[in-house]
Structure 1
Amino acid sequence: MALKATNGDQRRLLALQDVDTRIVRLQAKAKALPQTKRIDELDALLARLDRAVLDRLGAHDDATAEVARIESDVQLVEARLKRDQERLQVVKDAKTATATEHEIATLERRRSTLEDLELEAMQAQEDAAAALAAARAEAGEARAERDRLAAERAEVAAGLERELAEARAERADRTVAVPADLLALYDRQRERYGIGATLLQHRTSAASGVELNASELHQIRQTPDDEVILDPNSSAILVRTEESGL
């Protein structure tokens, strides 16, 4: 048995469909915010940059530890040099003096070698510090961009959520005036096919954009205005008005 509904009630579905279309568009827009793609790219980039910072921090720590180790060795050599030099001043035995002088010469060579190594280690430490600072700066710039985009996205999302709330409230208001059986059919067709109701405008379905053929138009002309019919192309409820050209 065909569903019956006044033409006025059927026309109310067009306004309801407009609201539902707006809701769908807002939901799609909320899921595809322009900032999201770049934020995802930055998240991947930051994962790499943060690892680079950790690696360079480790290299800097190693270089700092090497400088400290060499400095400690230098201090030990200098302490032994001072002891031997002081000993040489008081030693009386020629053999002991010769051995002490030999040890002093060895220690001086060792100190010279350590000082060269210390300079190299200090340069390595400086290079590691510069590399660490560069890595931190690069990560900081990426993180600042991500934070800025995240704030923008949150603001846009909040605006869309407000629009969605308004649209949903409008939908609730509009459904009150639609008979329950007609609304149930509308919702069922919308869930199945994406469109619940469409205007027949100049013999063309607004939903499908397809002009109805002569046979279809003849059948529609024979159908009472209060009988609900479906668009043969979109399966949405086909609403007839003065614009239908029947």
Structure 2
Amino acid sequence: MKAAPAAQLRLLDLQAVDTTLAQLAHRRRHLPEHAALDALALQVSKQEDARVRAQVTVDDLDRDIARLESDVDQVRARRAKDEDRLVAGGLPARELTALQHEVTSLQRRQSELEDAELALMEQRETAQAALDEVLGQLAASRAEREAAQVRRDEALAAIAKDEKFQELARRPLLAELPADLLALYDKVRETSGGLAAAAIHAGRCGGCRIEFSGGEKARIQGLAPDEVIRCEDCRRIMVRTPESGL
């Protein structure tokens, strides 16, 4: 294949743009914010599970405390009623004795219930402290996640801006290059990891960096300036420049 030396040099410009676009795409896929957001999502999920467990513990204790409070109120009301009857007097001796025993029993029962309620309230205080700690951690993680999302969005916006600039620079290059040279470039690029054209530098292929043998160097030197050269090793398009060392 033949192409004007100027067109071959423009091919290097296109390669530079495409290399930059590939680097931008790599940056987009491997932004550290992506990994940070994945880690934070897992952290938030675990903390949310912990929050649910802590909330269930508090809610269960609240129900137990409410039940005990109801029992205490019932015992207190019954005791007050019995004490009013004792104060009123006029009861037969046997009934009076039974009523006194019942008041004593109710007093003991009320004390037991109040002690149990106090113990549950202490447990609830501990459980609430644990819940508050989890809520604080969860809030901090969510705030950190939001900040990471902002950083990611800003980084993606910057990459998109650079990509747009490179795409604008690419269009005139495509229009200037001969169709057959561009087709070869695209074909090689598909099979060479994105690097299709490279300058010859100091007697080496700019793609695979392998130094030319004496025979290969002599062969290249004998080619016409418009001859499109392919590397014998990597098959990339090699472009001659003043720094080629030929």
Give the TM-score of the pair, scaled to structure 1: 0.96
Q: Which amino acid aligns with 2:162?
A: E
**Are 1:165 and 2:164 counterparts?**
yes
Q: How do 1:146-165 residues align onto structure 2 when only pairs under 5 Å count?
A: 146-165=145-164
Give the Å deviation of 1:116.
Answer: 0.6
**SS in structure 2 at match of 1:226:** coil
Output the amino acid matched with 1:36. Answer: H
Are 1:195 and 1:234, in contact at CA under 8 Å, matched by a contact in 2? no
Q: Does the 8 Å contact 2:206/2:238 carry over to 1? A: no
Could you tell me how far 1:144 is from its partner in structure 2?
A: 0.9
The letter for the 1-side match of 2:68 is I
- Asked if 2 retains the 8 angstrom alpha-carbon contact of 1:42 and 1:146, the reply is yes
What per-residue deviation string (whole Å, max 9, x for no partner) do you get for residues 127-183 of structure 1?
111111000001111111111111111101100011011111211121110011100
Residues 69-113 of structure 1, C-alpha deviation per residue, up to 9 Å, x if partnerless? 111110000010011112222342111111111111100000010
What one-letter code is carried by the residue in structure 1 that aligns with 2:81?
R
Separation in structure 1 between the aligned mates of residue 233 and residue 15 of structure 2, nearest angstrom: 17
Q: 1:213 to 1:100 in 2, by over 3 A?
A: same
Tell me the equivalent position of 1:109. Answer: 108
Residue 21 (structure 1) aligns with: 19
Aligned to 2:99: 100
Runs ≥4 in structure 1, deviation > 6 angstroms?
Answer: none
Structure 1 position 200 matched with structure 2 position 200:
yes
Q: TM-score, normalised by structure 2?
A: 0.96
Are residue 241 (structure 1) and residue 227 (structure 2) matched?
Answer: no
Structure 2 unmatched ranges of 5 or more:
none
Amino acid at match of 1:20: D
What letter is aligned with 1:115?
Answer: E
Identity %: 36
By how many angstroms is 1:204 displaced? 1.1
In the other structure, the counterpart of 2:226 is 226
CA distance in 2, matches of 1:202, 1:92: 123
